[in-house]
Chain A
Amino acid sequence: MATIYSDPSTTIYREIDNAVEIPGKRAPLVLGGRDFTSVTEVVTDVNLKPAPFGWYVGFGVAFSFFLLYVFCVGMLLTTGVGVWGNNQPVAWAFDIINFVFWVGIGHAGTLISAILYLFRQNWRTGINRFAEAMTIFAVVCAGLYPALHVGRVWLAYWLFPIPNQMAMWPQARSPLWWDVFAVSTYATVSLLFWYVGMIPDLATLRDRSKARLAEFIYGIASLGWNGSCRHWHRYERAYLLLAALATPLVLSVHSVVSFDFATSQLPGWHTTILPPYFVAGAIFGGFAMVLVLAIPAREWFGLKDIITMRHLDNMAKIMLATGMIVSYAYCMELFIAWYSGAHYEQSLFKFRALGGPYAWSFWAMMFCNAMVPQVLWVRKWRMNPWILFLVANIANIGMWWERFVIIVTSLNRDFLPSSWGLYWPTWIEVGMFAGSFGLFFTLFLLFCRFLPIVAMAEVKSIMPEAHPHHQEPHKQTHDEAAGDYRPDEHHVPKPKAH
């Protein structure tokens, strides 16, 4: 029910707490009395007006971290994998932790653009574009880790089934090889999804840019899109199909990542709930990252009318829900380890949680992922962007610890006590991890500068004016089915400056 308002200029439309839910009435998702024109303006201004000083500062910081990344990768390539702290028995460490961490972050973007689309969640339109961008950049950061971990990166093409006269083929039963397919398919499909979604908005930028060069480049990139409804028809169908394809894909990607662990016989890795648990964790961490990006972005780019408190509220709730699913999986693992009576399982979990050298990391994970998100039950705290920002950051940290716990604590005690060992990262690994954030934010800031950060066409399509008949004579409908969305009658409109 999008026909909530007939007249966008009504004061209640301008000033409203749209996070309040009134059953039977759908809250407006674009506030501030904005119409199509001003939505176009506020979004394209980000790209077409000169960048604010803060952008240069942010880009400078991000880029210097990126240089750190380049340096550490250089050290790695010129010296060898020995510059990392990986050892026996902890043969997988920071590289795989960070790989899983970054891939996981990407999943929220696909969830927002695909799954919420299938569920007809209109609020996704405000945030889907940069969530998708986040997906792509996170996958870039993720994919680099295993690519660098192969050691001889110049032979990385051996990962692909390229016909050769030696009949030397990859091993298709290896979960690591499934990863090659899963991650490259995911990267491709995410890129396509992102780009297809962006075509109409690139056309908007083409039509609004004053500079010749910008017009030319946006013109090429938008493929000559002219808003034809015959095009829109196929475009919408294609978008729906992509969403329907991306949904199982996103599940499969993190499931395949979890198979890397779960197909083994290692206690702590080999557990059947790992696939859905990894997916839920990925979405939890990914939504945390979306919040980390969205909260400052709406502030700095003046997008508070498009990324409203309701958007933040909904994202916080999804974080809470997925956080609870992750906690459910923690409980199942602990319960089944105890119930199974399996000696190794029990020992591993005892060691993981109590008494092992990494027990603190288990409790850090529990604190960040299971306990801290509980504050999101309280509406007042969800309504506070500062608290949300803090919780989201803690959740991100928690999800990183989760991967640390899974990988390092399971590996460092082998079945044979003689091969037990500890793992600590070297400064190169820490530098690479910090540097991967530099890479991520460099790409993200470039995206904010040059590409439409809000899916304008989609935002417009969910505005009340976008629906034919919204001005049909029977105004009484607003008192019946749709009704006026008046969460707070005494919310006296304040004069608002635009």
Chain B
Amino acid sequence: MEAIQPTADHATSSIDVIVPTVVGLCAEFDDVTAVTETAARVRDAGFKYWDVHSPFPIHGIDHAMGIRPTILPVLVLMGGLTGCLFGITMTAWINAFEFKMPAPFNWTNLQGYQFFISGKPLWSLPAFIPVIFECTVLFSALTTVFGMLLLNKLPMLYNPLFRLKNFRRATSDRFFIVIDAGDPNFDRQKTAELLRSGGAVSVETVDE
């Protein structure tokens, strides 16, 4: 890993010795405004494989980066409806219907039970609603959390960025723009220049 210093002559010299395993450029910022504005410029420059790293969600960064809304809410709605259906089926099956498993599954001995108690109808919807509701919420919440982790591809314990000493401040007080070398628009020098002109404190290469 070679640090690209902000001064021009250093930068040229270091680019000369870059090894092919470079995976990207990482620019450090100490100011939210600068990182947001630079992100907008990176977006406008047409980059696709790049990211901003910050210790907290920056207001307006989604727009600056051109992030499209996540489909998470749709997943959660589906999870919730599944949970609701599960709750309805479960309560009905365990208390209202003596439904036995059909032929291929009859080896399970599974069957429902007509539980008649306290003078209530077998299928007492009002009494089942609390359980149905809890199932809905449980399924939705599980979908939310695991859907978010899945979409974010977490856990991902290895990340080349973690090798950068300064990157440790991404969870504390600094902001980073990382542009992947795989991006079609990636050009080591021009990209570094773009980042630096936005007010980066430093620009480093990220090694594999």
Contacts and interface: CB of A to CB of B under 8 A. Distances in A.
Contacts, number: 229
A9 interface: no
Contacts of B69: 237
B137 to A, nearest CB: 5
Given A36-B173, A208-B172, A234 B151 contact: yes
B21 interface: no
A241 B113 contact: no
A224 B154 contact: yes
Interface stretch (A74-82, A199-207, A280-288, A480-488): A199-207
Interface stretch (B1-9, B12-20, B114-122, B188-196): B114-122
Given A172-B127, A173-B118, A228-B53, A208 B168 contact: yes
Contact of B112 (A167, A225, A468): A167
A347 B158 CA distance: 69
B73 A241 contact: yes
Interface in A305-334: none
A415 interface: no
Contacts of A177: 131
Interface residues of A, number: 72
B112 A169 contact: yes
Contacts of A335: none
A161 to B, nearest CB: 6
Interface residues of B, number: 77
Contacts of B53: 226-229
Interface stretch (A58-66, A178-186, A426-434, A439-447): A178-186
A196 B140 CA distance: 15
A467 B59 contact: yes
Interface stretch (A17-25, A289-297, A373-381, A456-464): A456-464
B130 interface: yes
Nearest to B148: A238
B159 A224 contact: yes
B154 A172 contact: no
Contact of A468 (B60, B98, B117): B60
B94 A170 contact: yes
B147 A252 contact: no
Nearest to A205: B171
B171 A200 contact: yes
A466 B58 contact: yes
B156 A224 contact: yes
A457 B56 contact: yes
A230 B67 contact: yes
A45 interface: no
A232 interface: yes
Given A185-B134, A252-B133, A470-B33, A192 B161 contact: no
Interface in A143-175: 161, 163, 165, 167-173, 175
B113 A471 contact: no
Given A169-B95, A224-B157, 14 more contacts: A169-B94, A181-B131, A192-B141, A192-B144, A207-B170, A220-B155, A224-B154, A227-B54, A234-B148, A235-B148, A238-B147, A252-B137, A256-B130, A469-B33
Interface of A: 35-37, 40, 161, 163, 165, 167-173, 175, 177-178, 181-182, 185, 188-189, 192-193, 195-196, 200, 203-204, 206-208, 219-220, 223-238, 241-242, 245-246, 248-249, 252, 256, 259, 456-458, 460-461, 465-472
Q: Which A-B residue pairs are the 4 nearest by beta carbons? A: A36-B173, A169-B94, A223-B155, A238-B148
Interface of B: 31-33, 36-37, 39, 51-62, 64-65, 67, 69-70, 72-73, 76, 90-91, 94-95, 98, 108-113, 115, 117-118, 120, 124, 127-128, 130-131, 133-135, 137-138, 140-142, 144-145, 147-149, 151-152, 154-159, 161-162, 167-173, 176
10 contacts: A40-B172, A172-B131, A177-B131, A195-B145, A223-B157, A234-B70, A238-B72, A238-B148, A241-B144, A242-B141
